[in-house]
Amino acid sequence: MTSLTEARQQFIDYLKSRSRSSATILAYGKDVEQLVVYLKSLEIDDPQAVTTEQLRNFMQKLAQESYTLKSISRKTNSTKTFFKFLKTQNIIEIDPATSLEHPIFENKPPRILSKLEYRALRDAARGDIRMSAVIELLLQTGVRIGELAKLIVSDLTLEGESPNIHIRPEEGSVERNIPLTKPVIDALTKYLEIRPKTPNKALFVTKTGRPLLVRNIRTAIDRYFKLAGITGAKVNDLRHTWVASQLGSGISLTLVSKLAGHRRISTTEKYLQYVPGRTTEDKVKLEEL
């Protein structure tokens, strides 16, 4: 008999073999581990013995522990994926998660900053050359914070006819070159002049020359949101703002999707409902924010 703990490890190994991102593997791993702990509390260690009713009771328990519907939906997806894997591997004969339903919840619309807000954010960070460059890069290119943290100096091309930033095809990222507008070129140029001399190739580094981590970037920008008087905004909202602004200025849906690194154009299409000023004529030149 394969125990639930062993089955979970086989599931994680399978995800790794499929080159899933480390974030996805971590999320699935934690969700399934939480389920395994619950089932073991019921003295169940055989995947074959798990019932649909037990899985439903687990989800109800999460709701009682104040997990959000969105979190429970994610854990439901992890559970269904886990048992589907067990079925394909012939570890179980009947999949108990097949009829497990996702909770119904309403997705909140993306937070899109107004012109007044992102100008206030710029003003709040103006005295911090490094963070001003970070904010400008996020706002003017729509890159993910994880992508920004992985940038190295050689990914930048600031001179010539086509200034751009190269996003390498690492986990979670689609390879692409994103054109740079004048505001971000100016901000990056100023930052490179004061960037600490270090053998580290990372573009954004600390004063001691170590790479600036995602959590450091997030904390700093949250602080500037607060200083700027911007409420209810997160770092990823700079990306939302970029996508919406490009679509609102008439940039082709296909081009915006490509530059944003969306794997499906349907992801980009969802923003159209938040862009009342969308024009019918497609432009090629990116909008400066």
CATH code of the domain containing 162: 1.10.443.10
| 130 and 256 assigned to the same domain | yes
pLDDT at 277: 67
Lowest average pLDDT, out of 147-156, 169-178, 216-225, 264-273, goes to: 169-178
**pLDDT on residue 279:** 58
> Domain holding 22: CATH number?
1.10.150.130
Is residue 33, in this structure, part of any structural domain at all?
yes
23 in any annotated domain? yes
- 262 in any annotated domain: yes
Same domain, 140 and 237: yes
Residue 284 domain flag: no
CA distance 97 to 74: 14
pLDDT digits (tens, 9 = 90+) for 65-105: 888 888 899 999 999 999 999 999 999 999 999 999 988 76
Can you give the pLDDT at residue 23? 79
Same domain for 120 and 64, yes or no, is: no
Question: How far is 287 from 269, CA to CA, in rounded Å?
Answer: 18
Pair (148, 269) in one structural domain: yes
> Contacts from 101-109 at CB under 8 Å and sequence distance 24+?
101/76, 102/73, 102/76, 102/77, 103/59, 103/63, 103/69, 103/72, 103/73, 103/76, 104/69, 105/68, 105/69, 105/70, 105/73, 109/274
- Tell me which of 2-16, 67-81, 144-158, 159-173 is least confident: 159-173
- 46 with 182, same domain: the answer is no
CA–CA separation, 196 vs 177, rounded Å?
Answer: 26
Alpha helices in 42-197 (DSSP H): 52-64, 69-88, 115-125, 129-141, 145-149, 182-194
Higher pLDDT, 283 or 194: 194
Number of Cα atoms under 13 Å in the Cβ half of residue 71: 13
What is residue 287's predicted lDDT score, i.e. its pLDDT? 72
Q: Are residues 235 and 147 in the same domain?
A: yes
- pLDDT category of residue 169 using cuts at 50, 70 and 90: confident
Considering only CA atoms, which of 279, 211, 219 is closest in space to residue 249? Answer: 279
Residue with more model confidence, 249 or 21? 249
Residue 47 pLDDT: 93
143 domain-assigned? yes
* Domain contains 14: yes
Pair (178, 241) in one structural domain = yes
- Report if residue 139 sits inside a domain: yes
Domain identity same for 61 and 164: no
What is the average per-residue pLDDT within 41-60? 94
Cβ-contact 116, 129 below 8 angstroms: no
Do 71 and 148 fall into the same domain?
no
State whether 199 and 133 are in the same domain: yes
Give mean pLDDT, residues 149-158. 94
The domain boundary, picked from 88, 107, 133, lies at 88
pLDDT at 284 over 80: no
Residue with tokens 């909202």: 237
Q: Do 128 and 254 belong together in one domain? A: yes
Taking CA atoms, 51 is separated from 19, 55, 62, 95, 149, in Å, by 30, 7, 17, 9, 43
Instruction: Give the side-chain half-sphere CA count within 13 A for 29.
Output: 15
Domain encompassing residue 10: 4-88
Report the domain count for the chain: 2
The verdict on 19 and 145 lying in the same domain is no
Q: Are strands 156-157 and 176-179 parallel, antiparallel or unpaired?
A: unpaired
Mean pLDDT (whole number) for 116-128: 95
